[in-house]
Structure 1
């Protein structure tokens, strides 16, 4: 097995890349912060995902988090020290990385042990198949942070659970445990935590043994069937609400409930 590690600003924050028996394996490793991704980590994740295509022996990509987390998504504390404009750029960059994973021509299997939250949930939904442990949890509490759900983010949820369930999921900020996520279609399989990696590798090898042409064709055909959202919101539509976002991030850092004062727009 070959192991290549991309070192980031701190030794404990890294994206680990491995190749073995036709499988590429990417592991998000920042266990002290629930594998939350910094802006630099999002950038490295996209680059490493594209690197999987450099080796023609790679038939399937497994994407996982280290320890008992998939990823908590973006590092919210990072947003507490940047401008709204920089936050906007970060969300656009984040979506492009997630789309890079989603648009890889080879099958991508998400291995979900523990929470997949916010952008981490979207990263999981960008995978073609999701295998969760019995400790898997999935949620997207954007309403607590003043983040507006862009159309690409929303579409991934709508495609799996439907419009009403998507709105309920986001409006309430609820978190699905493994069984709820499975019933909703967010997870394809649930296995015991101790069996998760073994099952994922076995599944990866099973998929890798199929016709490469068939795999590429069905992935392209399915995308064409469901893909109707534009690349990203355009024009003046924002990814974040300035006042709500600032309050939401401050409340997150200060570990308190946010207090939003803006009124809903009138029809």
Structure 2
């Protein structure tokens, strides 16, 4: 991990479970290049240290508000496209981990942050959280196969085309969240997940993931590549930001994040 990325992900290990905290609360834990690098490295380190369960959380109020585009005016279309592809590769890594994974999400869970949540085996939504997938509004096709695998094709299409936030209770009813909890119930949920994970070995988990995942990683990556390869990617994002500001739409922190 580079010096710039150090501290962007904090790791805590207890009884075989490693919790990785996205630690950029001042930006809503938005996924900038350095945070993506740090999370990728932290996943490798947790597995190398023998983690049997990996838990993803966000420091501060929000789990993850999406793709960090705070430097949008300074990046080229090509650099922006590479950032998005790099995030898709990270999402595929999380989805294919050889150990069980859990996301615990509070606050805003938007864009690439919602895709990160969806990539985990257990997806705990805290009371008051909300979820949205605004990427299609600026031409981005990210993580669609994984989302459809959770909620079904028609519901995934509706969520992606609408782009509007859904509250935690609806996320649970759709299958996006696997549980809706108050904060005081988290300890028991984590303990139960840890006990279950310790009964499984990595080859078994990897085999189960392989047989129960319906997403096609290669197809998802190809769809994303086609969407970001269209000319004018940065301009589409800028136009989306302008529309959101003009309409006082629910903010996704794009430029900011998405």
TM-score exceeds 0.5: yes
Aligned pair partner of 1:66 in 43, 53, 59: 59
Distance change (3 Å), C-alpha of 1:230 and 1:238: same
CA deviation vs aligned residue, 1:229-259 (integer Å, no higher than 9, x gap): 525217982326544641433653896248x
2:80 corresponds to which residue?
Answer: 87
**Structure possessing the higher radius of gyration over alpha carbons:** 1
Q: Is there any run of 5+ residues in structure 1 with no aligned partner, and where?
A: 259-267
Distance change (3 Å), C-alpha of 1:234 and 1:139: closer
**RMSD of aligned C-alpha atoms?**
2.7
Q: Distance in 2 between matches of 1:109 and 1:235?
A: 25
Equivalent position SS for 2:218: coil
Q: Per chain length, whose mean CA-contact separation is higher, i.e. which structure has more relative contact order (CA < 8 Å, sep 6+)?
A: 2
Equivalent position SS for 1:233: helix
Q: Is there any run of 5+ residues in structure 2 with no aligned partner, and where?
A: 248-258
Aligned pair partner of 1:147 in 111, 135, 139: 139
CA contact (8 A) 1:148 1:240 kept: no
2:44 corresponds to which residue?
Answer: 50
Aligned pair partner of 2:70 in 77, 99, 102: 77
Distance change (3 Å), C-alpha of 1:135 and 1:193: farther
Aligned pair partner of 1:8 in 4, 8, 20: 4
Structure 1 residue 53, shift from structure 2 partner = 1.3
Matches within 5 A, 1:100-115: 100-115=93-108
Q: Distance in 2 between matches of 1:29 and 1:103?
A: 23
* Bigger helix share: 2
Distance change (3 Å), C-alpha of 1:171 and 1:238: closer
Equivalent position SS for 1:168: helix
CA contact (8 A) 2:64 2:110 kept: yes
Equivalent position SS for 1:160: helix
Equivalent position SS for 1:215: helix
Structure 1 residue 184, shift from structure 2 partner = 0.4
CA deviation vs aligned residue, 1:23-76 (integer Å, no higher than 9, x gap): 0110001112211121111011111111111123x2100111112211012112
Aligned pair partner of 1:203 in 192, 209, 233: 192
1:263 corresponds to which residue?
Answer: none
Structure 1 position 190 matched with structure 2 position 180: yes
Aligned positions, number: 245
1:18 corresponds to which residue?
Answer: 12
1:165 corresponds to which residue?
Answer: 155
1:261 corresponds to which residue?
Answer: none
Equivalent position SS for 1:90: helix
Normalising by structure 2, we get a TM-score of: 0.84
Distance change (3 Å), C-alpha of 1:235 and 1:190: closer
Mean CA deviation greater in 246-255 or 120-129: 246-255
2:218 corresponds to which residue?
Answer: 230
Q: Distance in 1 between matches of 2:158 and 2:204?
A: 36
CA contact (8 A) 2:97 2:206 kept: no
